[in-house]
Amino acid sequence: MNYSAIRTCDVANGPGVRVSLFVSGCTHRCKGCFNPDTWDFAAGEPWTDAVQEKVLASCAPDWIQGLSLLGGEPFEPQNQRALLPFLREFRKRFPGKNVWAWTGCVYERDLLAESPWRCEATDEMLSLIDTLVDGPFVETLKDITLVFRGSSNQRILSLARGAGF
């Protein structure tokens, strides 16, 4: 997996101050996407053990509320396989912090049922995420008044108790 950006003090992608990881690779290719530079799986830099450790260390301060996963597409199967061990370690080190993830997938249709995005890592990855913002960005439904979403078809789903904002 490659990543395109890491923000260690992000207040735009989830509640509170967060660490945000933008992964590379997305086959959704939504028209009007705010981050088309992340569509290419080869964009950015390789995700290594050293980078993972840097991100985890960035999550340690008490004032960091949690981790946000964006893209690209975190639920591309090759990204899931790389993110799953990272999320396990995040949960082990920071049980009191939350995880938000954004996906162009629709939760019930693409992540819970057979689809190109579902793989052996999907169920466990979902179990480690507190809040999922799902659905493709639809340019004709763009609404800048929405909190943590770009278009009105996207949903904020609480996957874990107490995960809301």
- What pLDDT, on a 0 to 100 scale, did the predictor assign at position 40? 87
- What pLDDT, on a 0 to 100 scale, did the predictor assign at position 165? 53
Q: What is the DSSP letter of 64?
A: E
- What pLDDT, on a 0 to 100 scale, did the predictor assign at position 102? 97
The H or E element containing residue 78 is helix 77-93
Question: How many degrees, rounded to 5, is the angle at CA 148 between CA 159 and CA 142?
Answer: 120
- What pLDDT, on a 0 to 100 scale, did the predictor assign at position 33? 79
Question: How many degrees, rounded to 5, is the angle at CA 20 between CA 84 and CA 79?
Answer: 30
State both tokens at 122.
């999907």
- Write down the residue that tokens 């954004």 correspond to: 102
Domains and CATH numbers, the chain: 2-158 (3.20.20.70)
User: pTM of this prediction?
Assistant: 0.94
- How many whole angstroms separate alpha carbon 47 and alpha carbon 64? 22
- Would you give per-residue pLDDT tens digits along the chain (165 residues)? 999 999 999 999 999 999 999 999 999 887 877 788 888 899 999 999 999 999 999 999 999 999 999 999 999 999 999 999 999 999 999 999 999 999 999 999 999 999 999 999 999 999 999 999 999 999 999 999 999 999 999 999 999 754 555
